[in-house]
A and B are shown apart, each in its own frame.
Chain A
Amino acid sequence: MGRVVLVTGVSGHLGGRLASDLARDPAVGRVIGVDVVPPRSDPSGIEFVRTDLRTTGIAKVIRRCGADTVAHLNVITNPARAGGRVPMKELNVLGTMQLLAACQRSGSVGRFVVRSSAVVYGCGPRNPAVFREDTGPSPAPVSGWGRDMIEVEGYVRDLSRRRSDIEVALLRMAPVVGPVISNSFTDYFRLPVLPTPLGFDARLQFLHEQDALRALRTAVLGPCTGAINIAGDGVIMLSQAARLAGRPVVPVPRIASPLLRRLVPRGLETDLSTEQMRLLSFGSVLDTTRMRREMRFEPLHTTRGAFEDFVLGRQLPGAGMIRERNRPRTGPPDRGLPRIGGAACGEAG
């Protein structure tokens, strides 16, 4: 009998992929997926249970299926997608509290994995350049997703204090990008013109969606515990990312960012909140030593590789240039000349 894994937020991209990946894994016997809406595609091998995490229904689900591992992915990053800040906070914080209460009561759960985020470190001019897992947030995010995640992490830590037999892993992920996933960062780069904070240029770090998925799987199956930073190697600057995406930028004074939110056309649900603009001003970079040493996880994509794959996958205007550059080169750097000769012959004939 394999393990029984409960995945929350299974209708989201990462949740759905994780659930179907786990269902194929020989070490896993059953995968139960939980969400408020049914998954768009019906993944085989997953038992889907429609439940609102904010209600006590989740306790019944856990009791009935006897899950030994819970992967909590039901965190919403962009208020525009949740239908406002209030439902977002309810889902993120109250949903987690209900889930944790159910886990504490259940006798079967022995492992709890949360998809957290680098936003818990906050970002600002007083922060160190590279965040380690033991870096305290200074200043802590006071609102938005960052605040939610700090509260979520706090409640999860409470659980591991009350039930020391439950292993808890918090994966603090860099912003996830990739050809498919949607979040506040991918939405931002969908804007035709990127508003950037005037006079600032953030260091950004990304995690490829494929690596995010692999990391979650490793954490669900593996023995790692505690907070672990997950990010692709390297850093790109916001200005560099805009160049790679082929998007023009409009520098906007940071004070004017609330005004800016109203100018964003409807349909482009982009998070231009104060926190997001702060992140775009100062950036955040994670130290991934623990990821390598303790979790023994190696991302397949660098930050830049992940971002380029996102640009290529979404067909952003910069895609052609990236394709051109990544084409394997055979000749010397001024490769125009030999090819020209060959092409000339072809055309003459």
Chain B
Amino acid sequence: MTPAGSTRTGPPPEGRAGDGGAARSDAAARSAADLVARGAERAGRAGTSRRIAPLMEGRAPCRLPRERHRPATERGAGPERPDDAPPVPPGRSGTAGGPVDGDGPGRDGASRTRSGTRHGPEDDRLGQVEDLADRVGAELAGLLPATGHGDAELGRGIAQLLAFLRKRLAGDYEVDEFGFDPELTGTVLLALLRPLYRRWFRVEVRGVENIPDTGGALVVSNHAGTIALDALMVQLAVHDEHPAHRNLRPLGADLVFSTPVLGHLARKGGATLATTADAELLLSRGEAVGVWPEGFKGVGKPFSERYKLQRFGRGGFVTAALRTRTPIVPCAVVGSEETYPMLGNLPALARLLGLPYLPLTPTWPWLGPLGMVPLPSKWLIEFSEPVRTEEFGHGAQEDPMLVFDLTDQVRQNIQQTLYTLLLHRRSVFF
């Protein structure tokens, strides 16, 4: 084991067995603090602990409920630790002892004095939960390799994570009528997709400024790749690359919302059902909405038909844009077709499972779960000049010919951009 590992002996058992609940809760608080310090040490730098420890100390109130059983005599202020408290491991106080121990009395004082206030059982539970959050944070601090971003940033990140967890566990967050949870999306969902976006597909984005900074916009994109990874990548591209960091609100098929887990994650990520009602409501509220009019026809087309746009539905998206007078931004995605090249389909089995298709790719289902790893194709996403809809007067959505014309115009635009992007791409994977 490493020297840091050898300090893991922790508090001796007799210290915990001292006097029942009080000692135990105290020990729990202390061991959490030890974990923080230890995790920081494991990060390999003495400086880490110095910077993380104060950040963790800033959260002193959360430890209070655990100490409320302490008898009053014990609460007397003083630098000496009570007898039942676990001694500080000598190895630790030698290396990072200064800052960690220096915070010790302050924290103890803080927790002791606040312990006089009454707390309900729910606070106790909250306390336990936060204790857990502390431990997780500390472990994470230890596990993360020392990055070039500096320890202060790492510490700040952990503090933010803990604050986020606390808010989530208390139910203290907002969602909109569609179920969109901006906090969860920004902190968790998009963060999980980012490695895929940056490292795996190395997405290059062009023309993202064609999406207006404010107000409604309808992003219309091609759809491919067996599973709708392209929708997620376009959403992330708009969020990360757009100067206003807009949240694109994807419109999804009803299959998405009837699937357990996927359905509510999609809603929390900002998606809603692809119906005129929802699209118009979002657009009239000035949201950027993403739509994939090819639907399952596009995403489930065989590999041989790659980059050939399918029928664009019935032009419902154009009607919605005309009615709300929002610009249509065509978007072409190259790279999605090669993530899961669909070589075959099992329509009978798909019907049995209630799915629109059941793909066979070079790796799925032959390699089992490994077949679900997408091929690392190189992606290019281009947003074109918006198609303006304000110039068409009121009631333009009632003119089917205009709707068909605009649908065709958008479709042609995306198809042309796809061909241009394909010419520019050096190879499928680079």
Contacts and interface: CB of A to CB of B under 8 A. Distances in A.
B273 A198 contact: no
A135 interface: yes
Contacts of B116: 343, 347
Contacts of B277: 128, 130, 132, 135
Nearest to B169: A243
A200 B179 contact: no
Choose among B113, B176, B272 the residue with the greatest number of A CB atoms under 10 Å from its CB. B113
A246 B175 CA distance: 19
A129 B272 contact: yes
Contact of A126 (B114, B120, B171, B273): B273
A203 B171 contact: no
A128 B278 CA distance: 6
Given A325-B172, A347-B113, A203 B273 contact: no
B14 interface: no
B179 A237 contact: yes
Contacts of B260: 197-200
A263 interface: no
B171 A243 contact: yes
Contacts of A234: 174, 177
Interface in B18-76: 58-61, 64, 75
A129 B278 contact: yes
B108 to A, nearest CB: 11
B103 interface: no
B263 interface: yes
Interface in B75-131: 75, 77, 109-110, 113-114, 116-117, 119-123, 125-126
Contacts of B273: 125-129
Contact of A340 (B75, B110, B175, B264): B110
Contacts of B264: 199-201
A340 B114 contact: yes
Contacts of B132: none
B218 to A, nearest CB: 17
Contacts of A243: 169-171
Contacts of A132: 277
B122 A246 contact: yes
Contacts of B258: 124-126
A282 interface: yes
Given A200-B264, A340-B109, A334 B58 contact: yes
Interface stretch (A47-55, A74-82, A175-183, A315-323): A315-323
Contacts of A200: 260, 263-264
Interface string A300-340: 00000000000000000111110011000000001111011
B257 interface: yes
A201 B116 CA distance: 39
A240 interface: yes
Nearest to A251: B260
Contact of B113 (A283, A318, A334, A340): A340
B419 interface: no
B61 A336 contact: yes
B359 to A, nearest CB: 22
Given A200-B260, A235-B179, A318-B122, A336 B60 contact: yes
B267 interface: yes
Nearest to A234: B174
B254 A125 contact: yes
Nearest to B261: A199
A259 interface: no
Interface in A111-146: 124-130, 132, 135
A201 B265 CA distance: 9
Contacts of A194: none
Interface string A280-310: 0011010100000000000000000000000
B175 A129 contact: no
Given A200-B260, A347-B113, A347-B116, A126 B177 contact: no
A28 interface: no
B281 interface: yes
Contacts of A320: 119-123
B118 to A, nearest CB: 9
Contacts of A197: 260
A317 B263 contact: no
A150 interface: no
B179 A203 contact: yes
A128 B170 contact: no
A144 B97 CA distance: 66
Contacts of A240: 171, 173, 175
Interface in A167-198: 197-198
A82 B109 CA distance: 57
Contacts of B169: 243
B330 to A, nearest CB: 25
Contacts of A348: 77
A348 B75 CA distance: 10
A344 interface: yes
Contact of A343 (B113, B175, B278): B113
A97 interface: no
A282 B121 contact: no
Interface in B156-186: 169-179, 181
A307 B278 CA distance: 26
B275 interface: yes
A212 interface: no
A321 B175 contact: no
16 contacts: A125-B258, A125-B263, A126-B254, A128-B277, A128-B278, A129-B267, A198-B260, A200-B264, A235-B177, A235-B179, A237-B175, A237-B181, A287-B281, A335-B61, A340-B110, A340-B114
Given A197-B260, A236-B175, A240-B175, 14 more contacts: A125-B254, A126-B273, A128-B278, A129-B272, A129-B273, A199-B259, A203-B177, A235-B175, A240-B171, A317-B120, A317-B125, A320-B123, A321-B170, A343-B113
Interface of B: 58-61, 64, 75, 77, 109-110, 113-114, 116-117, 119-123, 125-126, 169-179, 181, 254-261, 263-264, 267-268, 272-273, 275, 277-278, 281
9 nearest A-B residue pairs (beta carbon): A199-B260, A243-B171, A336-B61, A320-B120, A125-B258, A125-B257, A128-B277, A201-B264, A344-B113
